[in-house]
């Protein structure tokens, strides 16, 4: 289950489908949180944030660089997926990226992985909250 699965529904104004997907994912992958409700959605997002933070911290602990951390290449389950151009640091270099197409901007470089993970976490909810108001 990718961040992008949720993001696309927010940008296409599919809020009913977004709720349906969220409820399905909570019931299937996060049943310990309980029946979907506003409180459970908040706990669910907290758990997604926690899992993502742990995953990225583990990457960085061992010098792993994902290479393409867009919302379609990141799992809300805290799993590493879609490796694409991944790599491992040979020497400590915050700006290193294994992605040659990212070499100029270095958006997905080693040192920006926590920032990009946070950016991905905020994508689906921004539009849904703005549309809901």
Domain limits, the chain: 3-126
Query: Is the pLDDT reported for residue 61 higher than 90?
Result: yes
Q: What is the pLDDT of residues 105-119, one digit of tens each?
A: 889 999 999 999 999
At residue 125 the predicted structure's pLDDT band, cuts being 50, 70 and 90, is low
Percent above pLDDT 70 for the chain: 92
Q: What is the pTM of this model?
A: 0.88
Residue among 13, 23, 72, 82 flagged as catalytic = 72
- The pLDDT value given to residue 103: 76
Q: Is 102 a catalytic residue?
A: no
Query: Is the pLDDT reported for residue 80 higher than 80?
Result: yes
Quick one: which of 98, 123, 104, 111 has its CA closest to 48?
A: 123
* Residues 124, 14: Cα–Cα separation, whole Å: 11
Quick one: which of 42, 30, 24, 96 has its CA closest to 64?
A: 96
Residue holding tokens 């997002």?
45
């Amino acid at each position: 289950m990718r961040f992008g699965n949720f993001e696309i529904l927010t940008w296409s104004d599919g809020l009913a489908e977004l709720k349906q997907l969220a409820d399905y994912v909570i019931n299937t992958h996060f049943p310990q949180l309980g029946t979907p409700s506003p409180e459970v959605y908040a706990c669910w997002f907290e758990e997604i944030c926690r899992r993502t933070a742990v995953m990225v911290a583990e990457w960085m602990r061992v010098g792993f660089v994902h290479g393409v951390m867009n919302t379609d290449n990141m799992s809300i389950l805290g799993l590493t997926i879609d490796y694409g151009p991944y790599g491992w640091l040979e020497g400590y270099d915050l700006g290193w990226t294994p992605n040659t197409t990212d070499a100029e901007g270095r958006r997905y470089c080693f040192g920006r992985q926590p920032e990009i993970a946070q950016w991905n976490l905020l994508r689906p909810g921004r539009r849904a909250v703005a549309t809901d108001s």
